[in-house]
Amino acid sequence: MTRLLRLYPRAWRERYGDEVVALLEERPTTLLDELDLIRGALDARLHPQVTGVVAAPERERPVNQRTFGFMAAAGGIAWIVGILSIFVLPRDVAGSRSLGLAMVGMALAMPLIGAALGDLGTRQGSATSARTGHAVIVVSIVLGLTLLPAWPVFLFGLFGFPILAALLAIRGTRNGVFPTWFAVVASIAGLGVLGGIGADVDAGRDQTLVLIAVVGVPALLLAGLALRGTPLTSTTPMPGPA
């Protein structure tokens, strides 16, 4: 009978699997029970009610929430200061703005913000979520490193990180870790960066640079959420379809 539980999504099994087994042990199961379980599995896949959320208390993490809050704050500041440095530094002989310090700032910011999003966004999740969080940290570091070589390698980081950050914010919201507004702000900021880059960074137009700088804002908001003292896992999961 318990083999039928394999038909259910992993997140569902992690939340309810042991309770179903306990229920089935109460009395002999019938063919109707088996058919009902199959029907329930189909429903669980068509209308997911569990999105990686488990009722178990937050797992022990080697690094606490406040540390990731400080990392997000440092990342947000590094990003914004890096972009603003473009306005401050003198132009080169050809009259173009200097992007060197901005790239270093963003290269530092990506691993810091990515690590905070990757860990905090998966705190109220399964073991799979935790592994995803670790993978995100590695990917963020790689994306940050792509900013250091010359064109066109840095385009991977410039395009990849805003998308990654927005997806992580949405995932964190669906996991019930971040409030919904945070996913909205992060998504808008990600689109702003993509728009800014698409509008030709090298031209150095002020409005383009401001668009890119906005990624620092959700990073600072994330820091505020993590540092306010309340565990992030207390947020109610995002409601979904029946």
Interface positions with another protein (CB under 8 A):
12, 15-16, 18-24, 26, 29, 32-33, 35-41, 43-44, 49-50, 55, 57, 236-237, 239-240, 242
- Work out how close the CB of 3 gets to another protein at its nearest, in angstroms, rounded to a whole number: 14
Residue 180 structure tokens? 């919904």
Q: Which is nearer to another protein, 50 or 158 (CB)?
A: 50
Contact 26, 62 (CB under 8 A): no
Contact 99, 201 (CB under 8 A): yes
Q: Which is nearer to another protein, 9 or 224 (CB)?
A: 9
- Selection from 164, 161, 169, 163 nearest residue 122 by Cα: 169
Q: Which is nearer to another protein, 40 or 204 (CB)?
A: 40
- Work out how close the CB of 46 gets to another protein at its nearest, in angstroms, rounded to a whole number: 11
Determine the longest span between alpha carbons in the chain, in angstroms.
84
Q: Which is nearer to another protein, 55 or 153 (CB)?
A: 55
- Work out how close the CB of 124 gets to another protein at its nearest, in angstroms, rounded to a whole number: 14
Q: Which is nearer to another protein, 146 or 175 (CB)?
A: 175
Alpha-carbon span 37 to 120, nearest angstrom: 34
- Work out how close the CB of 53 gets to another protein at its nearest, in angstroms, rounded to a whole number: 9
- Work out how close the CB of 33 gets to another protein at its nearest, in angstroms, rounded to a whole number: 6
Alpha-carbon span 153 to 151, nearest angstrom: 5
Half-sphere exposure of 30 (CA within 13 A, CB side): 3
Alpha-carbon span 241 to 50, nearest angstrom: 11
